[in-house]
Amino acid sequence: MQPVAARQTIAVVGLGYVGSVTAACLASLGHRVIGVDRDPIKVDSILQGLPPFYEPGLDQFVSEGHASGRLTATLDLAEAIGDAGVALLCVGTPSAENGDISLEQLRRVCQEIAPRLDRRSKPLIVAVRSTAFPGTGEDVVTPALGGHPMAPVVSNPEFLREGCAVKDFMEPSLLVVGSASREAALTVAGLYQGLPVEAQIVALRTAEMIKYACNAFHAVKIGFANEIGAISARLGVDGEEVMSVLCKDYKLNTSSAYLRPGFAFGGSCLPKDLRAITYRGQSLNVKMPLLQSVLPGNDAHLARAISAALAFSAGTTGVYGLAFKENTDDLRESPVIYLIEQLIGKGRDLRVYDPHIRIDSIYGSNKRFLFDTIPHIGRLVTAGLDGLLTQSGRIILTQSPPAADRAAIEASGLPVLDISRIPG
């Protein structure tokens, strides 16, 4: 199913930075938009064809919307939602005192909409454009609307940036729409028809989470660049040049590489080099809390995998994959070794198999490591996948097997815990 491209009557609730830009830009796409705010200054401003605050390009969009009659505003929520098929909620969700997000404005607007739903002859899609934590649609918005069947709930987070908000709206980096109602999601996606972006239709909570993931990612990127800049400066290196060249690696750096939730990292490079850069940072008195938190974060992730593996393992359990990732026989700093040691320590009976660590053909330093340094694990390694499957009652995957191995594991009918994906 495609987004439903149709001109709509839209109520934009909250005419702050997000709401004003959303209202004016949607009017420019041909929709009839009624903005509503409890602040009379913002409403008057739109009614006079003027933007309520400075944002490059907004004045032109508001004035054109006003002149065409497609953009208007009111203080009265009932009037705004009267003819509307969609209400886009753009109210504030500021920080609460304890750091949590305050959902008061959002809850109150929904409570104001709720009593007006019974009298409606057509549905009102309630789409939350404000940033709201995953679960808000289900746990706050839907109950505040009384779970009314005339008001399907949608999450449609905003990604614009102040200072270039109009441009960001008209050339979106991302369009995310989430709902339990596919029809409602497609209608909301259809509001943006004509913009150069493909709508991502997802579940309600997923849409809410994507917004948080994006903002957290942006913050981490800035924090990372600043820490690299700080240590570079202390070392007499041009940090801007370092980051600019780093960004030219489109395969590993500015790409989707390393951005899939999965198993903890390990191996001979990442842990060693993180230890060195944070040690040197400390010696140079450069505070780098972000980089210093990465190895503890990785340990916490490994602990989650161990808990899941402990809960899953029973009888004889087969562990598929011993190296720190697929397609290598390098055992240095493999987190799987630590995971196996934890399971052995808790009395689990294990067998181990890795397609690239074959006891019949292993040689050199890997052989010495396996049989001299970790003989307690070396003796658990089975000769082949068949051995693992026949000797085990269940399987833990620590890496993604090649197709033939995956087929054999599936054909065995053994229960599988895949910690190469997200541990439970």
Ligand X SMILES: NC(=O)c1ccc[n+]([C@@H]2O[C@H](COP(=O)([O-])OP(=O)(O)OC[C@H]3O[C@@H](n4cnc5c(N)ncnc54)[C@H](O)[C@@H]3O)[C@@H](O)[C@H]2O)c1
User: Which member of 81, 91, 228, 389 binds ligand X (CB under 6 A)?
Assistant: 91
Q: How far is the CB of 106 from ligand X (least distance, A)?
A: 8
Q: How far is the CB of 74 from ligand X (least distance, A)?
A: 10
Task: Kindly give the residue spans of alpha helices, DSSP state H, lying in 313-418.
Answer: 335-345, 364-368, 375-378, 385-391, 403-412
- Provide the residue type at 417 as one letter: L
In the stretch 41-80, what mask flags binding to ligand X with x, by CB under 6 A?
A: -x--------------------------------------
Q: Pick the stretch among 13-21, 193-201, 393-401, 408-416 that binds ligand X (CB under 6 A).
A: 13-21
**Residue of closest CB approach to ligand X:** 16
Tokens coding 90: 């753009």
Q: How far is the CB of 18 from ligand X (least distance, A)?
A: 4
In the stretch 153-192, what mask flags binding to ligand X with x, by CB under 6 A?
A: -----x-xxx------------------------------
Is 269 a known active-site residue? yes
Q: How far is the CB of 173 from ligand X (least distance, A)?
A: 11
The per-residue b/e assignment along 126-149, b for 16 or more CB within 10 angstroms, e otherwise, is: bbbbbbbbbebbeebbbebbbebe
Residues 103, 109, 113, 115, CA torsion sign: positive
User: Which member of 43, 73, 90, 175 binds ligand X (CB under 6 A)?
Assistant: 90
- State the catalytic residue, choosing from 90, 110, 164, 269: 269
User: Which member of 10, 11, 12, 18 binds ligand X (CB under 6 A)?
Assistant: 18
Q: How far is the CB of 130 from ligand X (least distance, A)?
A: 3
Q: How many residues bind ligand X (CB under 6 A)?
A: 25
In this complex, which beta carbon is closest to ligand X, that of residue 135 or of residue 393?
Answer: 135
Q: How far apart are CA 108 and CA 91, in angstroms?
A: 10
User: Which member of 10, 11, 12, 15 binds ligand X (CB under 6 A)?
Assistant: 15
Q: How far is the CB of 16 from ligand X (least distance, A)?
A: 2
In this complex, which beta carbon is closest to ligand X, that of residue 167 or of residue 234?
Answer: 167
C-alpha closest to that of 201 among 171, 231, 181, 225:
181
C-alpha closest to that of 29 among 3, 54, 50, 53:
3
Pairing of strands 32-36, 71-74: parallel
Evaluate whether 168 touches 160 at the Cβ level (below 8 Å): yes
Tokens coding 246: 């780093």
Evaluate whether 155 touches 137 at the Cβ level (below 8 Å): yes
Chain position carrying tokens 């969700």: 93
Evaluate whether 124 touches 113 at the Cβ level (below 8 Å): yes
Evaluate whether 127 touches 87 at the Cβ level (below 8 Å): yes
Q: Can residue 36 be called a binding residue for ligand X (CB under 6 A)? A: yes
Q: What part of residues 110-139 is at the interface with ligand X (CB under 6 A)? A: 130-131
In this complex, which beta carbon is closest to ligand X, that of residue 102 or of residue 391?
Answer: 102
In this complex, which beta carbon is closest to ligand X, that of residue 156 or of residue 317?
Answer: 156
Question: For residue 56, what are the CA distances in angstroms to 5, 62, 168, 197, 423?
Answer: 28, 12, 11, 22, 45
User: Which member of 38, 167, 367, 394 binds ligand X (CB under 6 A)?
Assistant: 38
Evaluate whether 53 touches 20 at the Cβ level (below 8 Å): yes
Binding site for ligand X (CB under 6 A): 13-19, 36-39, 42, 90-93, 105, 108-109, 130-131, 158, 160-162
Catalytic residue numbers, as ranges: 269
